[in-house]
Each structure stands twice: as C-alpha cells, then as structure tokens.
Amino acid sequence: MEKTVRGPVVVIGAGLGGLSAAVHLAARGREVVLVEARDVPGGCCGTARAAGYRFDTGPSVLTMPEVLAETFGAAGADLESVLPLRRLDPFYRLAFHDGSRLDVVGGAERMAANVRELCGPAEAARYLRFRRRLGEMFEAEWSSFIDADMTRLRGMARPYALLKLAAAGGFRRLDRFVASQLTDERLVRAHTFQALYVGLPPHKALAIYAVVAHMDTVGGVYFPARGGMHAVPHALATVAEKAGASIHYGVRAERVETGADGVTGVRLDTGERLPASSVVVACDLPRAHAGLLPEAAGDWRLRRPRYSPSCLVMHFGLDRRLPGQAHHTLHFGREWGTVFSALAAGRPQPDPSLLVTCPESDDTAAPAGHSTLSVLEPAPNTAGGADWDRLAPQLEERLLRRLAALGYGDLSAVPRETFDPPAWARLGHSAGTPFALDHRFRQTAWFRPSGRSRRVPGLHFAGMYTAPGVGVPPALISGRLAAARILEGAR
C-alpha cells in the first residue's frame, strides 16, 4: 500500500497533455507548477509568424469538442465562453484523382445524399449501414478503452468489451473491414485515410481505428471562432492559471530527482530546484529517458520503439482570398496501397495524398483581403536514415509543383514557413516525427508506454506517447488520467 502524499505537483511540458493535467490538478486544489521549455504553450499545437501572417503549425482537424469541454469544465469554465468553436461545413472536401469530389458533411441524410450523387443509391444505402456500424464500434470502445486508464489492472479485465469489439470486427484489418461494407474505392479511401493519423497503413491498422473515421466524418470537425488552433492551448493555460497553477515558460526541466520514497523534485536548467511529491512528464518520452528521468523509470515498452511516419508541412501567406475553398481539402493521389509501403520502408511516398487547410475564418491569420494556406504531406521519419540535406529541397520542390498543378498557383515566391522531419527533430521530437509511436497492436492501450512508473512512486506520464495516444482528444484524456491517479492518492 502506497503512502498518500499531498505535496506540490510539477508538470513537465505545456503541450495539450501537460496543460490538461495541470487544469485537472489545479482545479482540485493541488499546488501545480508547469514548466515549459518554449516561450508559449501548446507544444505541437504551436504557432509561427512570417511577413505579417500567422500559421497554426500543428493540428487543424479538431474533433470531439466534448473532450475539450470536459477539460475546461473540470475547472468550472465553460467551453462556449472561453473557446467558442465553429463546426466546419463541410468537415472535409475530398478531391479524388479522377476529378470527382465528395464533401463530407454533418447529418446522416445529408451525407448519404452526397454519397448517392457520387456513387449511386446502392452505395448510399451501404454507407448508412456502415455509418451505424461505426457508431456501434465507437460506443464499444470509448468508455472501455479510449477513455479508460490502462495503467490499472482492471483496465485489462474487460472481457465483455473485448468480445463486443471482436464481434463488431474490431480486430480485423482496417482496409478489409471497410472494404467488406463499402464497394466504391473512393468511399473506402474516405474512411481509411484516417489510419495515417495513427501512423499506420490501412492494411496494417486494426479496424478498431475506424473510430477515428467516426470521430471526424460523423462527429464533425471544429475550429475556434477566434485565434485559430493556437487559441486552444492558450485557453487551457489561462484556465489552468486561473485555477491556481503557476506556469513557467522558457524553462527546461533537466532532471527528475528521486529519494527512497520516489520523486522528490525537479531540477531546472536555471539551476533552480522545484520540490515535488508527484511529477507528470508530458513530453517526448524517448528523449526524457535519455537524461531527464532516473534509470529506474525505464519502461520495457519503449525498448524497441516503432515511430509513426513524419510529415512535411508548408505554410504560405497569400495576398488574396480563396473564395469557395473548403477549410480542409484532402487531395488524394492516384496511388493508394503502394504509397504506404514507401513510407513504411522509410522512403517518400511516390504520389502522396495532401491535406490542404485554408483557415479563411481565422482573422488572426492574415491581413484583410489576404489568407493563409497550409499543406501537409506524409513523409518518412528520420529513423530510416534518409539523406535529408538532399531529400528536403527535392520534396519541397515537388510539393510546390503539385500545388500549382492542383490549381493553387505558383507559391514558390510567397512568404512561407516549412517544417520537415529534421525541423521536427530540432523541435525535440524523437525520430523527427511529431506523431510519436505508431499505433500498431503492440503499442496500443496496455502496450503503449505506461502512464505511471511502477518503480518510482510519484512519477506519472501524459501526452501522446502514453495511452490513448496521438491527437488532440487523446492528449487531453491522457492528462486527465494522470491527474486522476494523483488525486486518488497514488502519488
């Protein structure tokens, strides 16, 4: 039986995982100090400026606003007042290589009408059945697996939930699961591209990840009414501070210190030492294990890490608006299966699908009459040993040509900011990927690095390296789970 200790809690990293932990802990009256190496909160959910333009450098597909609402709600703040969100319409525009398009919109009947127009009535009927099945799978997974604490033994003992998931087809491969219910290749792509969000090709991802397609294509995609995506971490930091947390920016944690009873404090790069009875480490875990953490904190699950692919992201400042452009357009390449094998082998995709984001409603992004455009291309991470000095300019050139061919014009001379895998590595992401470990079976749920150290009392983990995993809602949930363990007295 562990001792209950109610000392200060130090949270390392003001990404969404760390911020969520800080909000939940401070709201329950715990003394919380959050240290962040950068000058602003957000981590991956960052911001950059160039020539009068502002770019959101991380997530753009914001799903499951209820998870954000719950995080703010823990501190008595109302999502509608601290961070009003707008539901995008369409959620995505899918542009296929044959020139056809599908707008993914809210509401079963509206969406079925779009499917009917693109693929005919029989496929629309199949779509509606598939959509119901996605909903059932989501219900089966949410409370038992995604929103549950996998560090507890009882988290593993869910035979009924597992059986339900197996019966729903959750342990088949995602591509086969979707193709068994939809016949039009374009619709299959519309519900399998999300495998990339969990770092896997659709033929390797388990069908349980079809829930990601439920979250975005059914649940909807949102965007802050003011301030772009970077408003999310700002609002979280404000709410955490109002609840009593103290946040130190521009300060790096250098060493988690321990004594016979577990953690005792955190040594900072300023030389200062923060006393702590619990520490939540909410940053890149492989790097943390290379110096920040005591050896006893080692986790066998990180012995052979399998990293997600990375991405090349280019942000452009345009001196014009883009009337009629959807907020999110996914341009599918002609190739599909082969593009994933290239990534898995550490090579750039031969014909990548691109996510183009145009946040026209964000008036902090560009001067009046101007706009910004961001494009994300999946790219290999740096673990494959590619020669990035040579590869990076080639990929940038190719992307500029592709954007011109897609009708975005010549963007080679407009103000821009670029993030390629070496840039992600410089920002502190292991293997040059901001998407952490992929979500193969042996890096999922109980097999993802633990949220709590078994051998170092008081040491907890949050963020995308832990369960439930990568993405805005999972990172927020991981912070809440870490806070809950501490609040229950598990140090």
Smallest distance from ligand FAD to CB 278, Å: 16
CB closer to ligand FAD, 56 vs 175 = 56
Query: What phi and psi values does residue 485 have, to the nearest 5 degrees?
Result: -65, -40
Of 75, 101, 55, nearest to 417 by C-alpha is 55
- Two tokens at 8? 């200060």
Alpha-carbon gap, residue 432 to 366, rounded angstroms:
29
CB of 194 to ligand FAD, least distance (A): 10
Contacting residues toward ligand FAD, per CB under 6 A: 12-18, 35-38, 43-45, 58-61, 252-253, 282-284, 292, 311, 313, 428, 434, 463-464, 470-472, 475
Beta carbons of 344 and 201 less than 8 angstroms apart: yes
- Between CA 123 and CA 116 the distance in angstroms is 7
Alpha carbon distance 164, 200 (integer Å): 24
Q: Smallest distance from the beta carbon of 428 to ligand FAD, in angstroms?
A: 5
The distance of closest approach from Cβ of residue 39 to ligand FAD in the complex, given in angstroms and rounded to an integer, is 10
State which residue, 169 or 359, has the beta carbon closest to ligand FAD: 359
**CB-nearer residue toward ligand FAD: 150 or 283:** 283
Nearer to ligand FAD, 233 or 262 (CB): 233
Indicate if the alpha-carbon torsion angle 470, 476, 479, 483 is positive or negative.
negative
Give 181 or 308: the residue with its C-beta nearer to ligand FAD: 308
- Cα separation, 344 vs 348, in Å, equals 9
For residue 90, is the peptide bond before it cis, meaning its omega torsion is within 30 degrees of 0? Answer: yes
CB 213 within 8 A of CB 131: no
Residue 61 or 118 with smaller CB distance to ligand FAD: 61
Shortest Cβ 226–ligand FAD spacing (Å): 19
Which two three-digit tokens encode residue 125?
């009927």
Q: How far apart are CA 220 and CA 62, in angstroms?
A: 8
Closer CB to ligand FAD, residue 123 or residue 377? 377
| DSSP assignments along 284-308, one per residue | -HHHIIIIIS-GGG--GGGSS--BP
User: Closest approach of Cβ 183 to ligand FAD, in Å?
Assistant: 28
Q: How far is the CB of 255 from ligand FAD (least distance, A)?
A: 9
